[in-house]
Amino acid sequence: EQVGLACGSRMGTKPHNEPGVETIDPADFVEAAYKRSSLYNGNHQMSRAAESSNTQAAKPEKVGRSSGGCGVSKSSLGLTAIVLLQVFSLVNFESSASYLQTDLEASQMHVHQLQAKLAAVEHAAMSCYKQLNTTEMQVAQESEIINDETRFLRNLTAREQEEQMELKALRTAVEDLNATVAKGKIALRYEMEERRAAERAAQASQNGVQVIKDQLLASQDELKTYKERCNKEAAKAHRKLGKAEKKAKDEERARAKYMEGMLALQSKLGQTKSLLDASALSASGASARHATSDPDQAAAGLDEDGGGGAGAMPLGSVLQADY
């Protein structure tokens, strides 16, 4: 019965109340295994010989009274054959039971090996999940870096809007760069959503872990290349901005030199005006002295003095307006 139960557990028997499952009787299985064994044929032949001896012992009428000892010896031989048959059947049963026990142990060892493989697969899946988490953290850090760069570029664009008309080409380039950064952010969001969906699929089925890992590696490479491209474009923008600032400083220096020259010219004109005023005063004094002799010349001298003063003032006002 123990061997039959073991064979039933090995063959995967289930309760009778489960639909669609065929159950196996342990006794039928043991009998079938015994009939398939190599000792069954020999025992069957010995049992046939014992039956023939029993039939011969059961017919004493055909044998004379003088052969009584031979009949006893034949009956004892028949009993001995029956005992030997039972012993052989018991040995055969024990050998078949030992075979079944070894087969059961082998199946248990196979089950243990499968459990070990399953544990290894689960460990590999956990390591893949850890790698996914680290990759997500790296992507978050890179997205923060990209956001910082985007803010910096926006501030740079706001400062460039206050520049002159010569910086319009640079501003358009920076706006294009901002547009590419926005597209990159949208692409990153889509990639994040795809990764989350891939994570859920990986939790449902462990067969797609390697595919998700390859996709993550490819996205990391794309992020690296995109970051390098953004850095190159930002460096170009910085160089162009430095050139523009240098040009503006040169223009400011030239304007300062021009203003210094204008101030020097204005000071020279002031000195000239003072000299003209002094000469006009001296001329007016001379005309006052000769007023009695030539009043027309005195009037002409006064007109010339007034005209000189009026002509000097607009020149200063023009210089001040130009300044």
DSSP state of 66: G
Query: And the tokens for 269?
Result: 């004109």
pTM equals 0.22
- Segment 129-139 shows an average pLDDT of 90
The pLDDT tens digits of the residues spanning 2-28 come to 434 444 444 444 444 444 434 444 445
User: Is residue 102 scored above 50 in pLDDT?
Assistant: yes
Residue 223: how many CB atoms within 10 A of its CB?
19
Q: Is the pLDDT of residue 101 over 70?
A: yes
pLDDT at 119 over 80: yes
| pLDDT per residue as tens digits for the range 143-190 | 899 999 888 888 877 776 677 777 777 778 888 888 888 888 898 888
The tokens of 272 are what? 């000239």
Give the model's pLDDT for residue 145. Answer: 92
Q: Which residue has the higher pLDDT, 39 or 275?
A: 275
By CB neighbour count within 10 A (0-12 exposed, 13-18 middle, 19+ buried), where does 7 fall? buried
Q: What's the DSSP call for residue 252?
A: H
How many angstroms separate the CA atoms of 74 and 66, rounded? 15
**pLDDT of res. 168:** 75
Tens-place pLDDT, residues 57-66: 444 444 444 4
Query: For helices 68-160 and 39-57, what crossing angle results, to 10°?
Result: 160
The H or E element spanning position 87 is helix 68-160
The label of the residue with tokens 């067969």 reads 207
* Angstrom distance (rounded) from CA 187 to CA 191: 6
Q: Which amino acid is at 311?
A: G
**Residue 25 Ramachandran class (φ > 0 left, ψ -120 to 50 alpha, else beta):** beta
In angstroms, how far is the first alpha carbon of the chain from the final one?
122
Rg (CA), the chain: 60
